Structure 1
């Protein structure tokens, strides 16, 4: 069984069998604690990068302590039931001590109801939709059965029509962008982090109120560069049984502008028109090259 077995739509969002109807209902009722630390994103938007930064700051800027565990063991992934566990993530969450580190790609209509009123700190990382689509295309094919792997053209159509696993890019980004002024929400852009990683780490530090000791910032910045994270077995998912990292690394390029190697002129024009329609009056803009 893989994450792509038996996909079906639930309230307009495509889910696999490991995100069952029962699990989605249970997640909605999950108790969120005021001291929870939650990373939210659309898949392949810089989630693991953000998790690594957050967890290092969480552990008092002790890189070695943070990296004692694989990144997937530091954060509870709320969206899917592990195939080797009899417990759902909502049940595991209830048993964890506070403060909890949680990550999710859930859409706004699927997330725990208490996330609209909680004091828990939430970091949302957003990535420009063109690069995000390309990254998700490669990842989706890497974990999909061979008979469900797609061409770029077919994936592009599904992405635009919000028919990919975990739903639409537009929906989740517009929701969290609308909440960017909430005191407990930090909205970050992948491209801004690429341009100024030091500034991004400092923003996260200030948001949580976790000070960075003198002399530690440069060390954290170096540790969290894309090249170092790609070579770090604690963050590169090289131990994942569901991903062939030799053919398609979990961390592939990490560049801004790689979409130009995939989008045709017609696709780019069609997507720009779609973005204008979907994001009209939101004011949410992205860099598509650096």
Structure 2
């Protein structure tokens, strides 16, 4: 943990990275939850293989190292035994991850309110009653959004994904964005131009395919295809981890929070965003490269 910030939550522990021997060609997919993690992991898997029929098995082949569900000795041994180019997932901000000058860090972000409302759906789809403390099913008093705004970036609040944690993710990644091996992507840009996302990532990772192969890979990673084959593309799909694999890919759209928050809630969110980010930073975190997005 030398020179790394500690992120220790009820479900996750970034000290687990101490057992991973980082390789120069490793790829880290680093995101707050529900910001396109599985989508980006799938894109990486497709590009590394060049095979539209590749079995992704993300939870095993591209593991979420931070989470405590699997014994870290087993995860570390499995990673060490891999002879191919590896990719790993993390919901830990960049300042809590091991840094390697050659490994690639792919950081993905999404409008914080879209991520929050997607997370609300997600916690109803997984058998972890701990989340009921933050995300009560019958939330007539608005507890969920208050905790989203009030929660801290570390400690017990971390795994409930409060706004502070999303902001910490963004600031930690942006602070390193001038490095050659750290790249920020945005969910909205991926949605607007999936082919461009594939091309950009292929260039970053030094991978080249014919136009026809790239077209096939892009088609596999469309939302409709991943939802239609959810047991294949959802994390631990087909294993009964979630109540519904298909529901993991609920809609893939943005802006579903509109009309669901009071004026006071929106004002409180705006105040927190403006207190922590410059206008240009906020515009990118919410809408990506589309500077003229309608708010």
Q: TM > 0.5 between the two?
A: yes
Partner of 2:148: 159
**What are the superposed Cα offsets for residues 233-287 of structure 1, whole Å, 9 maximum, x if unpaired?**
21134424332117x8111111011111432222112111111111137734222
Q: Deviations over 1:191-247 (max 9, x none)?
A: 01111111111111111111121312222222211111111121134424332117x
Q: Where do residues 60-71 of structure 1 align in structure 2 (5 Å cutoff)?
A: 61-64=50-53, 66=54, 68-71=55-58
Give the match for residue 97 of structure 1.
Answer: 83
Gaps of 5+ in 1: 1-10
Give the length in aligned residue pairs.
268
CA positional deviation for 1:181: 1.9
Q: Which residue of 1 aligns with 2:61?
A: 74
Alpha-carbon distance between aligned partners in 1 of 2:282 and 2:209, rounded to the nearest angstrom: 30
Quote the residue 1:3 is aligned against: none
**3-state SS of paired residue (2:233):** coil
* Richer in helix (by share): 2
TM-score, scaled to structure 2: 0.81
Distance between the aligned counterparts of 1:96 and 1:289, measured in 2? 45
Q: Match for residue 15 of structure 1?
A: 9
Superposed counterparts of 1:1-290, under 5 Å: 13=7, 15-16=9-10, 18-19=11-12, 24-28=14-18, 30-59=20-49, 61-64=50-53, 66=54, 68-83=55-70, 85=71, 87-112=73-98, 115=99, 117-143=100-126, 144-145=128-129, 148=133, 149-150=135-136, 151=139, 153-162=142-151, 163-165=157-159, 168-232=165-229, 233-237=231-235, 238-245=237-244, 249-280=247-278, 283-285=281-283, 286-287=286-287
Mapped to 1, the partners of 2:65 and 2:107 lie a distance apart of 15
Residue 158 (structure 1) shift: 1.9
CA RMSD of aligned residues (A): 2.7
Unpaired runs of at least 5, structure 2 = 152-156, 288-292
Per-residue displacement from partner, 1:21-46 (whole Å, max 9, x unpaired)?
xxx43424643211101111111100
Alpha-carbon distance between aligned partners in 2 of 1:132 and 1:171, rounded to the nearest angstrom: 15
Query: Match of 2:88, SS?
Result: strand
CA gap 1:98/1:184 in 2 versus in 1, 3 angstroms: same
